[in-house]
Structure 1
Amino acid sequence: MQRIAQVARLRPELREEYLALHREVWPDVEAALRAAHIRNYSIFLHEDMLFAYYEYHGEDFTADLETIKADPESQRWWTFTDPCQIPWPDAADGGRWSDLPEIWHLSDEVKEDPDA
């Protein structure tokens, strides 16, 4: 499983539109994400910064992302959501979201204290 975190900026004047869209995400968009092995997808909002987190459970991340990009309903969804976002300068080609490097993770494994 691969954990992914990303950030984007929300256009303040389109905030309510973006929030309304995400109150009722289209079922076909959710199905495309699930088919691409995306799980536990959440988007958080702090002021005008969007923070997304999801887990990838597949074998070929690049190929699975391409299936989402090729999905007609996802493409149509983005015609509504993309105008609401301001991309970071380092966003991937034509993208809106910037990937964040993971610097720490609390795992489920409990490590023994070597000094105990």
Structure 2
Amino acid sequence: MKRYGHLIKLKDEKVEEYKKLHEAVWKGVLERIYQSNIRNYSIFYRDGFLFSYYEYVGMDYEADMAAIAADPTTQQWWELTIPCQEPLNTCQEGEWWAKMEEVFHVD
């Protein structure tokens, strides 16, 4: 199992819309996340930023992430959520949510 943290800005005018969307995430999106070996997934909000955390339990992260990206239901979901977000200026090319480095963990 590997832990992942990501960060992105949430547009001020989209905060309530984004929260409302996540009160009822589509079943197909949740199923695809689970099928792609993601567990314990959370998104937190504070001061215009979203922080996501999840645990990956699979064997091929790149393939599982590609399966999520190729999923038609997830693509429709992203059509609603992506306009709410704004990547950080420090993102790498092709990166939407900024990857974070884990510097501490304790069980």
Q: Secondary structure at the match of 2:91?
A: coil
- Whole-angstrom distance in 2 between the partners of 1:61 and 1:99: 14
My pick for the range that moved more, 93-102 or 37-46, is 93-102
CA-based RMSD: 1.1
1:77 aligns with 2:77: yes
Does the 8 Å CA contact 1:7/1:49 hold for their aligned counterparts?
A: yes
- Whole-angstrom distance in 2 between the partners of 1:103 and 1:8: 19
Which structure has more relative contact order (CA 8 Å, sep 6+)? It is 2
Identity of aligned residues (%): 42
Q: In structure 2, give the amino acid aligned to 1:74.
A: T
Q: In structure 2, give the amino acid aligned to 1:41.
A: Y
Larger Rg: 1
Unaligned runs of 5+ in 2: none
Unaligned runs of 5+ in 1: 108-116
TM-score norm. by structure 1 comes to: 0.88
Check 1:92–1:70 CA distance in 2 against 1; reply closer, same or farther (3 A cut). farther
Report how far residue 94 of structure 1 moved. Answer: 4.1
Q: Who is 2:41 aligned against?
A: 41
Aligned length: 107
TM-score norm. by structure 2 comes to: 0.95
